[in-house]
A and B are shown apart, each in its own frame.
Chain A
Amino acid sequence: MLFNSVEFIIFLPIVFLLYWFVFNKQLKWQNAFLLLASYFFYGWWDYRFLFLLMFSTLLDYYTGIKIHNSTSPKSRKFWLFLSITINLGFLCVFKYFNFFTDSIGSVVSLFGYKIDTWTLKILLPVGISFYTFHGISYIVDIYKERIKPQLNFVEYAVFVSFFPLLVAGPIERATHLLPQITKKREFDYSRATDGLSQMLWGFFKKIVIADNCATYVNQIFDNYHTLPASTLVLGAVYFAIQIYCDFSGYSDIALGCARLFGMELLRNFAYPYFSRDIAEFWRRWHISLTTWFRDYLYIPLGGSKGSRWAIIRNTFIIFLVSGFWHGANWTFIIWGLLNALYFMPLLLTNKNRRNLNLASEGQLFPSLKELFQMISTFILVSLTWVFFRANSVGQAIDYIKHIFSASLFTMPNDVGLKLLGPVIVLLFVAEWLQRDKDHALRLPEFKLPYVRTAIFYTLIFGIIFLGNFGSNSFIYFQF
């Protein structure tokens, strides 16, 4: 079920009350109930998806133990590769099979031949890209002897399928989440209220900002060839806001929800649009995925050690694989490639770790230089998002070509600026002011009473009256 659905509004309080009032006496009941609730949550989409999830869980649970118990390096490697091959195999079949066959067909047709490509008509199981990566990181961590295998199957299954993170992350690490699962959770008032605040902010970003932006983004991208360039710029900006609010909104809801159950998940977004360069952007955007690729792909390939060419190669591989992870379409690969090209100059000039601190730390306003840097980074990123959003590479290139035309300096069409303008400004102001906090609604104590309550109520009414309840699904669910 979706977070922004009526079913979830009913599901969450019931699970919360049962978890803390009925099943909290012992750890094993807490975990068993969480597992049941998670499978119910996931099976609500389609019960058939559960079989794949269970199989993947069992596979990694079993191979983890086998790796740990194997004495010979050959045997350990065997189990490692077996698990990774099967996990990635599922991903390839469900997500990439049709892409590969269509691409082969296209390449062959370039030489004047035609082959009948056979495509599969299968549903993409929700969240497969996320839970397979959970499993792979667990197995690799055992292989590298960073952790011991989890012998309690229920606890391991909760790690894989904990419902707040099951369908769209964050991609958790066993070293981070498993210790929380193996310890009995006690209710903590501050954590729970903070979790609720974070969920509220997530819902606001998703329902009010992302879903309203989506309406206009769709209109603009569907009719881009008839619209002035200034409107196309707006479309690109709207999409940049949409994808950020959609995905970070989901992550906020997931993290906030986990806090209600006494667990802390990995932070996934750290205000990426306040980044001063691309390298900083990639340290702040989809953090759990980028660090996963860094730890399980980039570093094993050699990372930043080795020759300059090896570093360049490794960097390109990471960005291309990241693009490919997002979807079985050339647009995502081009998106990854563009980001690699942006990143390369910083890497090669050793400037990729310049901006590790917070922008304008301790200051209310950014300096002109920082402002310029943030806006430039935002523009560069927004151009790549056009590829992410477009249906094809051709459409993306065409869209960008249309941006750089004479009508760039005309007034944009009336595409929702009256509604979206103020809420987008509110988003940036709120997140800027709170950029040193995990989320924008971690409010300080105010001198006047009820200010926090007033803010929360304003957001709730904002969601009710400004929210777009038409388009429900989260963008990252397609991955």
Chain B
Amino acid sequence: MDKFLKKCCLILPVILVLIAVNYFVDPGNIFHPGKTEKGIANYMAEGKNVTNAENFDDRMMREFLLNSINTSPDVIVISSSRGGFISSNIFPGKKISNNFLRGASLEDYLALYDIVESKKWKPAKIVFTLDPWLLNDNNEAVRWMMLEKNYNSMLKKLNITNTPAISKTAPTNSLEFEKALQLVSFSYFKQAYIYLRKNKRAFYPTDNRCNEGLTYLADGSMCYDKQRRKNSIKAVDKLAVNYIQDEPVYCLGRFSKLSAAKIVLLEKLVDHIKSQGIEVEFYLPPYHPMVYDYLTKTPKYKEVFAAEAYYVDLAKRKNLVYCGSFNPAAYGLNKSWFYDGMHAKEKAVELIFKSTAIKEAHLINSTNKEKI
């Protein structure tokens, strides 16, 4: 047995190198949380664009960023990635802070606004991107838990004592265990090796708006990486087909009704913001035409349209400006205006926001007669 154990020790150098590379290269920032997030936030707070920003916790980054900004922006965008292209181009002459989050849910919105409010800012406008899954109790969104403290704080401010039904989340113990396993993971080592071999730079500041990799702009919005920007319409269609074929469609699983609890949250949030004299605007992001067509023909996704109808109704009741539609045809958007199944391109977003004719039509239909 001793001889056998000694022979097994021959593998030890490999294991030690594996652990060391996984820990120190750490391509997924598992073992050094916060370092990347703070770095990105610092650059953005200095007014610089940041590119090559991958594998980081964007909620942590937004928290750092908001806490680093001293002066109140004029327009604050609280959004999922589908509003990630709302940039200063849309609000010329105004200071904008886009705080889009990947996989955002309503809980994220409350948490982000809590951070904004804690800064005692009074922006002129808050823009919310309203995805249909915000009102789905079964959207399986868990990432907002990184901002749980702020979410709970906002609930208190809104006097909501019964916490609404929330998505289940993995207990933190198992997350820590999963992280520890990555120390001896061959697949993580391979990623680290690729990282080193391709001399992958960490994030860095740039003056360019768009670059090889994903870029976070100084105003908080983003520009996609080169590959995604250069995708042909055929390639985008394929992405849209893949989007549809994922079962269920992103965050729309078991969407059997609009969540009453989440409706309460949203309405109370809007009232709370308006009571502070801040204008609220809604943006309803369009789906790719193939995706929208699929959703209309699939009965189990009918609540998507109920969600849109509700958002429009809410905007009218509260005299809010709103723009956009889940239906791309409402703005004449064909396939060429999309990056994938659910992300409309910058030019589509600009078109929607600047469609004053449609906005005015919305206003005429509401009780608010003010012109934008």
Contacts and interface: CB of A to CB of B under 8 A. Distances in A.
Interface of A: 6-7, 9-10, 20, 187, 189, 192-193, 196, 207, 453, 457, 460, 463-465, 467, 469-470
A193 B1 contact: no
Contacts of B7: 193
20 contacts: A6-B185, A6-B186, A10-B181, A20-B1, A189-B1, A189-B4, A193-B4, A193-B7, A196-B8, A207-B186, A457-B14, A460-B14, A464-B18, A464-B189, A465-B190, A467-B190, A469-B185, A469-B186, A469-B187, A470-B187
Nearest to A4: B186
A192 B193 CA distance: 32
A455 B18 CA distance: 19
Majority DSSP secondary structure for residues of B touching A? helix
Most A CB within 10 A of own CB, among B10, B186, B193: B186
Interface string B186-200: 110110010000000
Contacts of A20: 1
Contacts of A196: 8
Interface residues of B, number: 18
Contact of B184 (A10, A187, A453): A10
Contacts of A6: 181-182, 184-186
Nearest to B7: A193
B105 to A, nearest CB: 27
Nearest to B183: A6
B372 interface: no
Nearest to A7: B181
Interface in B279-316: none
B190 A187 contact: no
Contacts of B184: 6, 9-10
B186 A463 contact: yes
A189 B3 contact: yes
Given A453-B10, A460-B11, A465-B193, A187 B186 contact: no
Interface string B1-35: 10110011011001000100000000000000000
Summarize A's interface: helix, strand, loop or mixed.
helix
Contact of A469 (B8, B14, B190): B190
Interface in B226-278: none
Contacts of A467: 186, 190
A189 B3 CA distance: 8
Given A460-B14, A464-B186, A464-B190, A187 B181 contact: no
Given A7-B181, A189-B4, A464-B186, 11 more contacts: A6-B182, A6-B186, A9-B184, A10-B184, A20-B1, A187-B4, A193-B4, A207-B186, A457-B14, A460-B14, A465-B190
A198 to B, nearest CB: 15
A457 B7 CA distance: 13
Contacts of A207: 186
Nearest to A464: B186
Contact of B4 (A7, A192, A470): A192
Nearest to A207: B186
B189 to A, nearest CB: 6
Contacts of A470: 187
Contacts of A192: 4
A318 B94 CA distance: 77
Contacts of A469: 185-187, 190
A24 B254 CA distance: 52
Nearest to B182: A6
A469 B185 CA distance: 9
A467 B189 CA distance: 11
A453 B9 CA distance: 12
A467 B194 CA distance: 13
A460 B17 CA distance: 13
Contacts of B18: 464
Nearest to A461: B14
Query: Nearest 9 pairs between A and B by C-beta?
Result: A469-B187, A6-B181, A6-B185, A187-B1, A192-B4, A189-B4, A6-B184, A464-B186, A469-B186
A187 B5 CA distance: 12
A424 B209 CA distance: 46
A20 B1 CA distance: 9
A207 B187 CA distance: 11
B196 to A, nearest CB: 12
Contacts of A463: 186
Contacts of A7: 181
Nearest to A187: B1
A465 B181 CA distance: 19
Nearest to B190: A469
A196 B181 CA distance: 22
A140 B273 CA distance: 75
